Amino acid sequence: MIGPIRQEILSGIKERAHFERLRESMRAFIDTEITPQDYEEAAAFYNRCRESGIQGSNTDFLICAIAVRHAFPILTTDRDFTHFAQVLPIELYAEPPQ
């Protein structure tokens, strides 16, 4: 996990007790370090996608950069990542067939 994902998951939780339970559960996951090179690669990914007419948020491209550096598949329900995968070397987590 990276800090921006932790923040995104916890943001918008209205019930304080639910927030506290989820925050406590998520503390089991250690954050992956974000390096200056990750930010640079995220900017390059943003530019590459923009050239192809694909837009996304800075956080999304940071997720992509870190995933590529660590060879992590990205688990998401955000369809923007399927567009990013058309031009970026990211792997999306695919749920095994049942």
Query: What pLDDT, in 10s, does the model give residues 39-98?
Result: 999 999 999 999 999 999 999 999 999 999 999 999 998 999 999 999 999 999 977 666
Phi, psi of 92 (to 5 degrees): -95, 135
Local structure of 92: helix, strand or coil: strand
Those residues with Cβ within 8 angstroms of residue 44's Cβ, 6 or more apart along the chain or in another chain: none
Task: Say what the pLDDT of residue 94 is.
Answer: 77
Q: Say yes or no to pLDDT of 30 above 80.
A: yes
What pTM did the predictor assign? 0.89
Q: Say yes or no to pLDDT of 16 above 80.
A: yes
For 56: left if phi > 0, alpha if psi spans -120 to 50, otherwise beta; the answer is beta
Domain boundaries, the chain: 1-31, 34-98
Top-level CATH class of 34-98? Answer: alpha beta
Task: Say what the pLDDT of residue 66 is.
Answer: 98
